[in-house]
Chain A
C-alpha cells in the first residue's frame, strides 16, 4: 500500500510537470494545427525568469523581506515573459506560414536555436530589458483608444509607444545590470534556483515523505488546469477559441476574429510554457538546453491524448508520468518480487529513466495501432480526420 502510494505520487509529480508543459502545446496544436518546436525554449525562458526574479528579490532592499514569496511572483512574471515572446513569434513567423504546418515546424525550430544562443551570448539583464520593451510595445496600443490609433496621427502614436517601450527596456536593462552583477555578463553556464525555506523538506503522511517542491508543482498544475478550463468554458474568448478549434472557416463566417483568437491562444499557450518553466527550475539546474529534456515528452502527451480535448491531455500526461516511474525506477520489481525470470530480466533491462522512455515509446506506438488519433479524437466527417 505504502509502496503503491509512493509510486503513484512520484508518477503524478512527473506527470504534472508534463501536463503544464503539454497543456499549452495541446491547445495551440488543437487550434492552429501547429506544433511549436520552440515550446521547450519558452519553458527555458520561464525558468530563467524564475532565476532573475529570485536574484532581484535577493538584491533589492525593499523586496528582501518578501523573499520567501518570490516563487509566486515568478509564476506571474514567467507567464508574461513567455507569453510576450510567444505572441511576437506568432505575429512575425507563424502568421506567415498559415496552412503549412510542416514549414511552421521548421521555422519554430529555427526560433528555438536562436533563443538558445540568445540566452548564451546576451547578458540576462539586457535580455530582460528587451522582453520588457517588447511587452510594452506589443500591449500598450491596447490601452490607447481606437479613435486615436486609427486617426491621422495613428502611426505617430504607435511609433511613440514603441519608442517609449524601448526606453523602458533600456532602463530596465541598465538598472538590472547595475543592481545584480551576476546578470550583467553573458554566460553559458547553468544556473541554480534555490527554493525558499518554506519549500524545503517534506511532509510525512502515512509513513511516506512527500517533498514539498513536488507538492507545490502539483498545486501549480492543478491551479493552471482549473484556470484554463474555466477560461475556455466560461469566458467569451474561451468560447470563441473552442469555436475556432472546432471549425475555423465557419467561425470566421460568423464574425469571430480568428486573427485575435490565434494571438490570444498562442499567448496563453506560450505563457503556460513559462509556468512549466518555473516548475522545471525548481527541479534542477537551469541551462539553455533545459527545454529539450521535456519537449519530446510533451509531444508524446499530445499524440497520446488527441487533439481538442483537455481530458485527453490530462489523462495522457498522468499515464506517461506513472508509467515512467513504474518502469524507470524499477518499481514493478519491488511490487511483484517473484515474477517469472524472463519477464524479470526484461523489466530489469528497462529499469532506468532513459530505457523507460524506450519502453513507453514502444507502448505508445502499439496504442496508436488501435487508436490512431489518440485517446479522445475530435469527431468529424472530414476525409482527413
Chain B
C-alpha cells in the first residue's frame, strides 16, 4: 500500500510484535485477576476502533457510543440469564420474581436461541445506530450539533434502561458471572481464560476489518467527508449514505465490544451508558492517535491499564489526571501518541533538548524503493 511508507510500516510492525507477544505471554505470566482486566481492556479496544472509524476517519464526534456498547452487553446478558434460569419458577430469570412479573416480556423470547444472540449482539446496535444516524445525517446535522444530540440520546437510553425494573431489572443491571454456559460458570477461571482469548482474536479481526474498510475508495470518501463534506457532496457522492453506514458499523463494533466486556466484568447495567464512560472512549482514541487504527487499540489498553493502576494507588487523583489528559491531548498532541511518533516527534523533541543535531537537508525528498521521488 502506498500510504504505508517504509518507516511507518516499521513502527507498525514493532507495535504489532509487542502487542501479540503481550497477548501470548499474558495468560502464563499474569494472575487471573490481571488477565481478566487485560481481557476487558482488549474488548474495549474494539469499541475504540469503532470510535476511530467515525471520528478519526469521518470526523463525526459521537459522545453516545455507550448506547451501542450497552445494547450488545444486554443482548449477551439476556441470553446467559435465560440459558441458566431453568430451575427458577416459571423458567424465567430470578429477578423477575422481585417485581411480580410472571411472564417473560416478549422481547426476551428470541434470546433463548444462541444463534440469534450471536447475531443480535452486533446487528441490533448496528440497526439502532443506523436508524439514529440516518435521521440525524439526513438533515445535515453535524459537528457540535451531532455530538450533543448523541450525548442526549445516550442520556435518554440511560434513563430508559434505568427506570424499567420490570423489563430488564432497571438500575441493578443483569448479572452474568453466576450464569451457566456450556456447563461452566461464566465467572469461572476457565471461562475467563477463554474469553480473554476470544477478545484477543476479535480485536485483531476487528482491526483487519476496519483496515479493509478504510484502505480503499470507501475510506477515501470517509476522509473526504471529514475534510470537506460540502465538496464531497458537490462531487456527486451522497455523504448521508456513507455516514450512516460507517456509524452503523461503529455501532456494531461497539455491540461486540460490550458483549465481551459484559461477560468479563460479570454484569451489564445502565452504568455502561453514563456520559463520562462514552467520552472516555473518545479520549482513548485521541491519546492513541486518531486516524490510526492501531492507535485506538493502544490508547484503549494503555489508558485503561493506567486508570486501574492509578485508581488503586490514589483514587482521588485519577479525575485530575484524566481531565489533564483531555486538555493536554487536544492542545499539545492533536495527532495522538502514534501520530506524534510517526511525524518524527521524538526526533524533534531530542532536537529541542539539544541532544540531537538536525541532519535534514533542504529540500528534503521522500524516495520510494525504486528510487523514484514521491509526489
Binds A, one of B139-147, B254-262, B355-363: B139-147
CB distance from B184 to the nearest CB of A (A): 37
Mostly, the B contact residues are helix
Q: Which residue of A has the minimal Cβ distance to B157? A: A358
State which residues 313-346 of B face A: CB under 8 Å: 316, 319-320, 322-327, 329-331, 334
Are A93 and B327 also in contact (CB < 8 A) when A106-B283, A120-B316, A358-B159 are?
A: yes
Chain B 220-261: CB-based contact to A (< 8 A → 1; otherwise 0): 000000000010000000000000000000000000000000
Contact assessment for A106 and B144 in the assembled complex, using a CB-CB cutoff below 8 Å: no
Q: Which residue of A has the minimal Cβ distance to B231? A: A383
User: In the complex, which range does the number of interface residues on chain A fall in?
Assistant: 35 or more
Q: What 4 A-B pairs have minimum CB-CB distances, sorted nearest first?
A: A110-B326, A372-B139, A113-B323, A114-B323
Contact assessment for A105 and B319 in the assembled complex, using a CB-CB cutoff below 8 Å: no
State which residues 135-182 of B face A: CB under 8 Å: 135-136, 138-141, 143-145, 147-149, 151-153, 155-156, 159-160, 162-163
CB distance from B60 to the nearest CB of A (A): 9
Chain A 358-385: CB-based contact to B (< 8 A → 1; otherwise 0): 1001101100110010000000000110
Q: Which residue of B has the minimal Cβ distance to A302? A: B148
A299-B148, A372-B140 given. 12 additional CB < 8 A pairs?
A102-B59, A102-B144, A103-B330, A105-B61, A106-B61, A109-B326, A110-B325, A296-B152, A303-B148, A352-B163, A357-B156, A358-B156
Contact assessment for A102 and B61 in the assembled complex, using a CB-CB cutoff below 8 Å: yes
A97 at the B interface (CB under 8 A)? yes
Q: Which residue of A has the minimal Cβ distance to B55? A: A102
Q: Which residue of A has the minimal Cβ distance to B135? A: A365
- B148 in complex: contacting residue of A35, A107, A362, CB < 8 Å: A35
- B147 in complex: contacting residue of A96, A105, A352, CB < 8 Å: A105
A292 at the B interface (CB under 8 A)? yes
- A97 in complex: contacting residue of B55, B286, B330, CB < 8 Å: B330
A61 at the B interface (CB under 8 A)? no
CB distance from B70 to the nearest CB of A (A): 15
User: Can you pick out 29 interface pairs between chain A and chain B where the beta carbons lie within 8 Å of each other?
Assistant: A35-B144, A35-B147, A96-B331, A104-B330, A105-B61, A105-B63, A106-B61, A106-B326, A107-B326, A107-B331, A109-B279, A110-B325, A111-B323, A113-B323, A116-B319, A117-B316, A117-B320, A121-B316, A296-B155, A300-B152, A352-B163, A354-B159, A354-B163, A355-B159, A358-B156, A358-B159, A358-B160, A361-B155, A364-B152
Q: Which residue of B has the minimal Cβ distance to A113? A: B323
CB distance from B267 to the nearest CB of A (A): 21
Chain B hits for A352, CB < 8 A: 163
Are A113 and B322 also in contact (CB < 8 A) when A102-B147, A299-B152 are?
A: yes
Chain A hits for B329, CB < 8 A: 106
Chain A hits for B67, CB < 8 A: none
B127 at the A interface (CB under 8 A)? no
A101 at the B interface (CB under 8 A)? yes
Residues of B within 8 A of A (CB): 55, 59, 61, 63, 135-136, 138-141, 143-145, 147-149, 151-153, 155-156, 159-160, 162-163, 230, 275-276, 279, 282-283, 286, 316, 319-320, 322-327, 329-331, 334
Chain B hits for A126, CB < 8 A: none
CB distance from A185 to the nearest CB of B (A): 14
A29 at the B interface (CB under 8 A)? yes
Contact assessment for A102 and B143 in the assembled complex, using a CB-CB cutoff below 8 Å: yes
Contact assessment for B153 and A361 in the assembled complex, using a CB-CB cutoff below 8 Å: yes
Contact assessment for B156 and A117 in the assembled complex, using a CB-CB cutoff below 8 Å: no
CB distance from B237 to the nearest CB of A (A): 15
C-alpha spacing A103/B331, complex, angstroms: 8
Q: Which residue of A has the minimal Cβ distance to B162? A: A354
Contact assessment for B139 and A368 in the assembled complex, using a CB-CB cutoff below 8 Å: yes
Chain A 293-309: CB-based contact to B (< 8 A → 1; otherwise 0): 00010011011000000
Q: Which residue of A has the minimal Cβ distance to B279? A: A109
Residues of A within 8 A of B (CB): 29, 33-35, 93, 96-97, 100-107, 109-114, 116-117, 120-121, 292, 296, 299-300, 302-303, 352, 354-355, 357-358, 361-362, 364-365, 368-369, 372, 383-384
Contact assessment for B230 and A384 in the assembled complex, using a CB-CB cutoff below 8 Å: yes
A104, A105, A383 — most chain B CB neighbours (10 Å): A105
Chain B hits for A114, CB < 8 A: 319-320, 323-324
C-alpha spacing A253/B266, complex, angstroms: 60
Chain A hits for B286, CB < 8 A: 106
Q: Which residue of A has the minimal Cβ distance to B283? A: A106
Contact assessment for B323 and A105 in the assembled complex, using a CB-CB cutoff below 8 Å: no
Chain A hits for B160, CB < 8 A: 354-355, 358
Q: Which residue of B has the minimal Cβ distance to A188? A: B316
- A292 in complex: contacting residue of B143, B230, B275, B282, CB < 8 Å: B275
C-alpha spacing A53/B259, complex, angstroms: 49
Contact assessment for B334 and A303 in the assembled complex, using a CB-CB cutoff below 8 Å: no
Contact assessment for B322 and A110 in the assembled complex, using a CB-CB cutoff below 8 Å: yes
Are A361 and B279 also in contact (CB < 8 A) when A97-B331, A114-B319 are?
A: no
C-alpha spacing A158/B120, complex, angstroms: 63
Chain B hits for A383, CB < 8 A: 230
Contact assessment for A106 and B159 in the assembled complex, using a CB-CB cutoff below 8 Å: no
C-alpha spacing A28/B230, complex, angstroms: 25
C-alpha spacing A29/B329, complex, angstroms: 23
Are A101 and B159 also in contact (CB < 8 A) when A110-B325, A113-B319, A383-B230 are?
A: no
Contact assessment for A93 and B148 in the assembled complex, using a CB-CB cutoff below 8 Å: no
Are A369 and B148 also in contact (CB < 8 A) when A103-B330, A358-B159 are?
A: no
CB distance from B199 to the nearest CB of A (A): 27
CB distance from B62 to the nearest CB of A (A): 10
C-alpha spacing A362/B331, complex, angstroms: 35
Contact assessment for B327 and A107 in the assembled complex, using a CB-CB cutoff below 8 Å: yes
C-alpha spacing A250/B302, complex, angstroms: 46
C-alpha spacing A303/B61, complex, angstroms: 16
C-alpha spacing A300/B163, complex, angstroms: 21
Chain B hits for A302, CB < 8 A: 148
- A101 in complex: contacting residue of B144, B153, B322, CB < 8 Å: B144
Are A372 and B141 also in contact (CB < 8 A) when A106-B283, A106-B286, A121-B316 are?
A: yes
Q: Which residue of A has the minimal Cβ distance to B63? A: A105
